[in-house]
Amino acid sequence: MKDSLDQILDDMLKRRLRILDDIRIRATLLRDVCDNLISKLENDGPDAYYSINHESLDHARRLHKACMELSLMRGWIDRIRKRII
């Protein structure tokens, strides 16, 4: 049982690093989209074309999902570590 928990923990720790990379990418993309929107607001004001299909919502949702997964994973990892010790 300990070996299987060790393997699960190892897999989760690797997944956590991939999630961190995804969070960094999503946060950067969201920041860039927002910076571009702010620039558009400042340069073009109300006369510009603004889309309801703006990609900020997609980036924000994916960022939120990744943060939520990381939060859940933290609890699981702590529980597994307690079982291994």
Q: What's the rounded Cα separation, in Å, for the pair 14 and 22?
A: 13
The pLDDT value given to residue 2 = 73
Q: What's the rounded Cα separation, in Å, for the pair 47 and 33?
A: 19
pLDDT at 54 over 90: no
Rounded average pLDDT over 18-35? 96
Question: Average per-residue pLDDT in the chain?
Answer: 93
Six token digits for residue 1: 């049982």
Q: Which residues span the domain enclosing 59?
A: 2-84
The pLDDT value given to residue 13 = 96
- Report the 10 Å Cβ neighbour count for 65: 14
Rounded average pLDDT over 26-39? 95
Number of domains in the chain: 1
